[in-house]
Amino acid sequence: MKLGFGFYRHMLTPAYYSFARQVGATHAVVHLVDYFNQGGAANSRQDQPVGELKGWGFAGNPDKLWEIDELLSIKKGIEDAGLVWEAIENFDPAHWHDVLLDGPQKKAQLEKLKTIIRNVGKAGIPIIGYNFSVAGVAGRVSGPFSRGGAVSVGMNGPVDDPIPNGMVWNMIYDAHAPAGFVPPTTPEQLWKRFADFLNECLPVAEKAGVRLAAHPDDPPLPTVRGQARLVYRPELYRKLIDTNPSPANQLECCVGTLGEMPEGEDLYEAVDRYSREGRIAYVHLRNIKGKVPFYKETHIDEGDIDVLRITRILHRNRFDGVIIPDHAPQLTCDAPWHAGMAFAMGYLRACHQVVTEEF
């Protein structure tokens, strides 16, 4: 296994890369979507976006796909710093809102996704992570939930306020959409849209040498904002894989999200099975206390999840992908993101050393 960091768009700088190298990361997972774009003051760029009901920020330019030149220029910066670019995390709602919503631009947007997948393959980036979700990572709050009052993220109950038109996956793609709300999506509709996406994009991904890695729904509830969700129990990852057996159909295995799930298959058995099957492209590894809709994110060493045990399972199954800390509580100092992430990385490195010596 390998250790890395997920970098938000504004973190694609030599200083962030140096920080990553200095605390022992070797790999980078890159968010090309700027979630904070023109967003409200409630979302600081120094923390993960929490998302009020009006969304994180504005989606990108629908006509500007991720071009090879742009990808290669970012890649050079990453490699000059001594890191390896392992994955891109998340498609831009600007490029695929109608794939998620089954809207009039669906066909054209599936072609955009295929172009992006081909470009990513040509740039030599092996994985695209994504989250096939209408409501997205919505309904969370932040507060002094973690040890010593460190600010982290969690839920204080279900959130089912409807989504305004022009918004999907917590971002605004059409500021001039007519008043009203996105109609509720049923599970059947959502799985059909998802199958269409996989069946169109996976053959292209296979050819391009790119694996598409699915994040489970965070928070993992059957519905959020009136919208059905795909993976809110660990065994729904099985249904996701069975939807299309292509070897490029992979998982972005978010251990924290799986741990937030109140029922279903045992977390450790799920990670064991999917890693043995070679279905995990990369791992988000963070800790939590409680279950949805009342869980809270914690420091990596103090929550309900036995992170060392997860690391041991992955190592035993010869998982050779990247693990990133996903999120970390903000530590009270001048660099809350860096301090929280450095603590998480140190803990993951210690886990890695322990399991390496054991076997």
Q: In the complex, what is the shortest distance from the CB of residue 87 to Mn ion, in angstroms, rounded to a whole number?
A: 12
In the bound complex, which residue of the shown chain has the CB atom lying closest to Mn ion?
A: 254
Instruction: Tell whether residue 254 is a contact of Mn ion (CB under 5 A).
Output: yes
Q: Does 190 sit near Mn ion (CB under 5 A)?
A: no
- Contacting range for Mn ion; rule: CB under 5 A; set: 118-126, 135-143, 235-243, 323-331: 323-331
Cα–Cα distance, 57 to 218 (Å, whole number): 18
Binding test (CB under 5 A) with Mn ion, winner from 31, 211, 225, 284: 284
Q: Which among 5-13, 22-30, 153-161, 276-284 is the span making contact with Mn ion, rule CB under 5 A? A: 276-284
Pairing status of strand 296-298 against strand 287-289: antiparallel
Q: Which two tokens stand for residue 208?
A: 């391009």
Residue whose CB is less far from Mn ion, 131 or 185? 131
Site for Mn ion contains 267 (CB under 5 A): no
Q: Is the peptide bond before 293 cis (omega within 30 degrees of 0)?
A: yes
350 CB-contact burial (10 Å; exposed 0-12 / middle 13-18 / buried 19+): middle
- Contact (CB, 8 A) for 78 and 84: yes
Residue 140 touches Mn ion, criterion: CB under 5 A:
no
Piece in contact with Mn ion (CB under 5 A), picked from 82-90, 110-118, 306-314, 322-330: 322-330
Nearer to Mn ion, 204 or 280 (CB): 280
For residue 256, the tally of other CB atoms under 10 A from its CB is 23
The count of residues interacting with Mn ion (CB under 5 A) is 3
Q: Tell me if 326 contacts Mn ion by CB under 5 A.
A: yes
Q: Find the shortest distance in angstroms from Cβ 231 to Mn ion.
A: 12
Give 233 or 284: the residue with its C-beta nearer to Mn ion: 284
CB 3 within 8 A of CB 348: yes
The smaller minimum CB distance to Mn ion, of residues 284 and 296, is found at: 284
Q: Which is nearer to Mn ion, 193 or 286 (CB)?
A: 286
Give the shortest CB-221-to-Mn ion separation in angstroms.
15
Q: Could you give the CA distance from residue 132 to residue 100 in angstroms, rounded to a whole number?
A: 7
Q: Residues interacting with Mn ion, by CB under 5 A? A: 254, 284, 326
